[in-house]
Amino acid sequence: MRADEVRKQVAGFTAFLKAAGAEVLLTTNEWELVRFRTADVTSVIYFNKKGETSFTGDSFTAWKAFRNNQAWKPALATEDGKRAPRVKKASPVIRTVRERDGDLCFFCRKEVIESEASLEHLVPLGHGGPSHMSNFFLAHKVCNSRAGHLSAVEKIAFHVREELKNAEKWWKRDNKVGTYFLRSRGDSTFPRDY
């Protein structure tokens, strides 16, 4: 199959994958047309300099179903109904979450550099949460470990507390600057005992 045929239908194919429940990831190099994940398998459609395609993982089965207007279900869990354990954080997943949400930690709202990045589950696996893009957000490894195995509600409350702390810190800083500025100008309308 020619890469230009696949390239023309990438948008439709990725929509098909998402509708079926697969996680569409960012490509990692210029030779990849599509990268997606099902359960613990990452599948890729590649092309070479001759314009020929090659398929890895579940990509050919998914592509064939898409081309033939057939139903396709990604493998989302193991036979016992539990998700296969993730051994390692996949860099394409983190990059996809960064593109969706930005570079700030969900908890402390500070920039997350690559070496400090981790994926956090909003609803923890231990509370029945899925290992799916819709349940991931970016967090520092330290913030992630501080959050531990909190429930989704507790994590959101933790996030809000951190946001309020940051807002209060900035409010105090801005008011000190304003107070200093007004006092230095000798503004008589500014209360002296503030």
Pairwise CA distance, residues 72 & 39, whole Å: 14
Q: How far apart are CA 191 and CA 18, in angstroms?
A: 60
* pLDDT, tens only, 30-75: 888 899 988 768 899 988 888 888 898 888 999 999 989 998 888 7
Residue 173 tokens, joined: 């800083």
Contacts of 63 (CB under 8 A, 6+ apart): 6, 13, 45, 55
**Quick one: CATH architecture of 88-188+190-194?**
Orthogonal Bundle (1.10)
HSE-up of residue 118 (Cα within 13 Å, Cβ side) = 16
Residue the block writes with tokens 């501080």: 146
- Entry field: residues in the chain: 194
Whether CATH 3.30.310 fits 3-67: yes
Domain boundaries, the chain: 3-67, 88-188+190-194
Q: What is the pLDDT of residues 119-156, one digit of tens each?
A: 888 888 777 888 888 889 998 888 888 877 778 888 88
